[in-house]
Structure 1
Amino acid sequence: MKIFFLIRSLGLGGAERQLVLLSKGLHDRGHEVVVATFYSGDGGPLERELLQAGVRIRPLHKQGRWDVVAFLLRLIRVVREERPDIVHSYLPDPNLMGVVLKPLFPTIRIVWGVRTSIMDLSRYDWLDRLSFKLNCWLSRFADAIIVNSHGGREDHITSDYPAEKMVVIHNGIDTERFRPDHEARRSTRLGWNVKDHERLIGIVARLDPMKDHPTLLAAAASLVRKRNNVRFICVGDGPAHYRASLQDLAKTLGLTEHVIWEGAREDVSSVYCAFDLLVSSSSFGEGFSNVIGEAMACGVPCVVTNVGDSAWVVGDQGEVVPPKNPVALMQAIEKLLNQNRYDPAEIRQRVVDQLSVSSLVTNTEQVLNALIQGSMPRTVGWTRARPT
C-alpha cells in the first residue's frame, strides 16, 4: 500500500509529531510512505526523523496564503508522479486540497485527518471561518475521516460531517522517548533557575486563544497569593502580538517574578520531567492532547479542562475541571500540590496500556486497507461509542 500524507508543514506541533510517528510505523511495516508539505522545511527535527527512517518528503513550495492556483497545479503534478493508493491529509486546509484531488484521481482513496473538537471561530479571522464552513460542506466527499477524539467526532457530526464515514483512532504516545528521567529533571530546572524546594507548574502549548493561557494566569495569580514556593512556566511559541498581550496580562496580575516564558523546545521530554505538575487549560478546540499523554508517560500528574477527550486521557490518574474557570483550576492545582495521591508509575502505566504507537499504526492500517478493498471496517481497534 502506498500512502501519501499531506500537511502544511513539519513544525514542532502535536499533529505533526503524530504524522511522523504514523508515517514511520507504516513504513516499518512495509508500506511505501511519502509526506508532502505545503511549505518547504528548514531541516528541523521532525524532517530529520522522517528522512532517517527512510520516509521521503515532497515539499510543494507554497509561497504564501494567496499562492493557490500554482500550488494546486504543483500538488496535482506530484500526486500524478507518486500514484498513491491513499491520500491522507491532516488538518483543515490539507483536507480541502485532498477533496479537490478526488475528481482528478477517482481511484485514489481520500482520507481526512480531523484533530480538533468544536472551535470558537469568533477568535479567528474570516478566512479560518470560511475554511471551516468549506470543510463542513465538502466532508461528505472524503472516503473516510479519521478523528483523534470522540469529543471531536461528536462535535463535527453536529456540524454536518457524515457520521458513517467518521472513525476514532486515538493518538499514540512514544513511551520510549517520553519516560521519567531524573538527570533531565535536574539539569532542565537548573537551566531555568528553579530551586529544589520550588514547585514548578507548566503548560506546553502554542500561544493560541484555544489554549486559554489567560485562565491559567488568573489561577496562578490566586495561587501565588497563598503559596510562596510555586513557579509557572509557559513553553511554546506563537504570534509576537499575542505573546506580548499574555506577558502584559501576567504583569498586571503581579506574576512577573513567578512566570517563565520559554519558546518551543525540541527536548520536550526533558521539559515534562522538570515539572511537578502539568496543566492543560484549553477552553475549546482540543481533540486529543498529545501534551497530556506525553507528560503522563513521564510520570507527571496533570490537571486538565474537560475539553475534547482530555478527561478520558487522564482517566483516574489526574484532575479534571471545567474550562474557563480559574477558581476551579487553582483549587485542583492546589489539591495536587498539597496531597498528590497519584503514583508516577501508575500515571505512566495508563499511557503504556491505552495509547501505544503500535495501536495507532495497527488501527490506521486496518482502516486504510479496508478502504482499498472497497469497504469501511466494522471490527477494528476503534469504536464509534465514546469510551468510559
Structure 2
Amino acid sequence: MRKKIVFIIRDLGYGGAQRQLITLVKNLDKQIFNTTVIFFYANGSLQKDLENNNIQTICLEKRGRWDIFGFLWRLMGHLKRIQPDSLHGYLSESNLLTIFLKPFFLSTSIIWGIRDSNISLDSYDWLDRLIFEIECLLSRFVDLIIVNSHAGQAYHLSHGFPAKKMVVIPNGIDTERFQPNSEAGLRVRTEWRISKDTILIGLIGRLDPMKDHPTFLKAVALLCKERENVCFVCVGIGTHEYAQELYQLAEELEVAEKVIWAGGRADMPDIYNALDITCSSSSYGEGFSNVIGEAMACGVPCVVTDVGDSAWIIDDTGIVVPPNNPEALKAGITSLINIISSKSYSSCHIRQRIISHFSVLNLSLKTQNSLLSINVL
C-alpha cells in the first residue's frame, strides 16, 4: 500500500520554497507515495503545474492572518478524510501547524522543512519572531527535520534544534528546463534593447530586504564610474512601498537609466540565458539559493555573497564576496567580467557542477529514503 504524505505550505505563488516543493512532489515515486499538497491561500501561480501532473491539491481558502478557527476546521476535515501517514510542513508557519495537529493524528509522522539559515529576526514583525522561538522549543517533538543547506543546519542547531533528527538535503535543479539556450537569451535581450556587446548583469529575487538590493545598486553605481558597456536588470516583485524605495535609491545613485526593473517573469530559463553574469547580494537568510543553481545550470557564472550555502554551490565556478559590502561586490563583478573577457571560463564546467551535485534525482531519492527511514512509516 502506498504511503499517504500531505505537504502543507502557505501558498503556491512564485517563490523558491514553492518551486522546490513542486519539483519534489512531481518526482517522488508514485508507486510508493500518494501525495497531497494543502495550501492556505488561493490564486497561486504554480497550482496548475501540480494539477497538470495529477497531484492532488487542496486550498483552505484562508482569508487573512486572523482567519483561524474556520481555517483549522477545514484543515482538520481534510486530514481526517485523508488519514495521512506523514505530514510535511514547508516553512515556519506550516511547520508549527503540523506539530499542533499531532495530538489528533497520533500515528502520523511529523516532518519539518527548513529553508533558511542565518535569520535576521530584527527584520521581521513580532509574530514571526514568536513563531521562530516556538519552533525552536517544539522542534524536539518532530520525527524528521529536512534542511536544504548546511548553513541552515548549523544555524538551527545553535538555536536548540535536535541534531539527531536533522538531515541536509540540498535543493534539486531541473537541468532539463534550465539549460543553455542562446537564442532564447537573445530574444530577451532584444526585448530589453540590450546589444550583444553590452555586459548584462542580473539580480534575480523578490524585492525584499533579505536580498539586499541596496548593496547591489551601490555596487552598480561604483561599477558605472569605471565602465560604460554594462547594464543591469532586477527580476522579481515585492511590496509597492519597498519597490518605491529601491527606485528612489537608483535615482539618488544616478543609475536609474542603467537598471531595468523587469518585475516577475515566468520565462526564467530565457532570462538566465540573456545574462552574462548572475549576482546574488543577499545579506542574510539564504539557505540554498535556487537562483544560483538555475543560473549555473544555464551555464551563467555567478558572483555571490557568502551567505547560506552560496559559496559551496558555486565552488570554483564563480566569485564569492562578503555581504553588505558594495565595494567588494563591485570588485567581484569586475573580476568576473575580466574572466569572461579573457574567455578563461567554461559554461559547461559551470553547468556540470549542478548536474553532478544538485540534480532533481538526488533531491527525490534522498527525500524518499529519509521519509521511509522514519520508524512510524
Q: What TM-score, normalized to structure 1? A: 0.94
> Aligned-pair distance for 1:263?
1.1
Alignment of 1:48-127 (within 5 A): 48-127=48-127
CA contact (8 A) 2:147 2:169 kept: yes
CA contact (8 A) 1:318 1:342 kept: no
Distance 1:299 1:235 in 2: 18
Q: Counterpart of 2:25 in 1: which secondary structure?
A: helix
- Letter aligned with residue 164 of structure 1: K
> Aligned-pair distance for 1:342?
2.3
The answer for the alignment partner of 2:36 in structure 1 is 34
Q: Which moved more, 1:224-233 or 1:67-76?
A: 67-76
Distance 2:25 2:373 in 1: 18
Distance 2:308 2:54 in 1: 34
The answer for the alignment partner of 1:332 in structure 2 is 332
The change in CA–CA distance for 1:283 and 1:225 in structure 2 (over 3 A counts) is same
The answer for the alignment partner of 1:385 in structure 2 is none
Distance 1:231 1:140 in 2: 49
- Letter aligned with residue 135 of structure 1: E
Distance 1:281 1:233 in 2: 13
The answer for the alignment partner of 2:345 in structure 1 is 342
Distance 1:348 1:239 in 2: 33
- Letter aligned with residue 6 of structure 2: F
- Letter aligned with residue 62 of structure 1: K
CA contact (8 A) 2:136 2:161 kept: yes
From 13, 16, 19, give the equivalent of 1:17.
19
Unaligned runs of 5+ in 2: none
The answer for the alignment partner of 2:356 in structure 1 is 353
The answer for the alignment partner of 1:220 in structure 2 is 220
- Letter aligned with residue 369 of structure 2: Q
Matched pairs, number: 372
Q: Counterpart of 1:77 in 2: which secondary structure?
A: helix
CA contact (8 A) 2:113 2:147 kept: yes
Distance 1:230 1:57 in 2: 44
Is 1:308 aligned to residue 308 of structure 2? yes
> Aligned-pair distance for 1:27?
4.8
CA contact (8 A) 1:278 1:303 kept: yes
Is 1:362 aligned to residue 360 of structure 2? no
> Aligned-pair distance for 1:30?
4.2
Q: What TM-score, normalized to structure 2? A: 0.97
RMSD between aligned residues: 1.1
Q: Counterpart of 1:257 in 2: which secondary structure?
A: helix
Is 1:206 aligned to residue 209 of structure 2? no
Alignment of 1:125-204 (within 5 A): 125-204=125-204
> Aligned-pair distance for 1:339?
2.1
Unaligned runs of 5+ in 1: 376-388
Identity, in percent, stands at: 49
